[in-house]
Amino acid sequence: MPDDEVTPEEKPEERWREILDFERQWWQSPGPKATAIRDRFGLSPARYHQALNRLLERPEALQYDPMLVRRLRRLREARRRKRFAGRLGAEG
């Protein structure tokens, strides 16, 4: 089956696996992460991170790479706590 005939059910799964694979190893690439995101996915960094955050909630993502997904969830929660603590005037 040619690449352009991928079924709609297969294509999103391939995309989220690419995103997780990228998150696992982006730091090994030369240059800024934002540039790598644009080059590889054709998305702005903001759109990419929105997609990544949605992906982190999917059970399939946790099955695919449990250590990575748990680490990214922890980092996301730490950023949220710090951001909300700043809004409340508390120290992080």
78 falls within a domain: yes
Domain that holds residue 80: 31-87
- Whole-model pTM: value is 0.74
Task: Please give the single-letter amino acid code of residue 91.
Answer: E
Instruction: Give pLDDT tens digits along the chain (92 positions).
Output: 344 443 334 477 889 999 999 999 988 888 899 999 999 999 999 999 999 999 999 999 999 999 999 999 999 999 999 888 877 765 54
24 falls within a domain: no
Run of H or E residues at 92? none
72 falls within a domain: yes
Number of domains in the chain: 1
Give the single-character DSSP code of 30: S
Question: How much is the pLDDT for 90?
Answer: 57
Q: Which two tokens stand for residue 5?
A: 């005939």
59 falls within a domain: yes
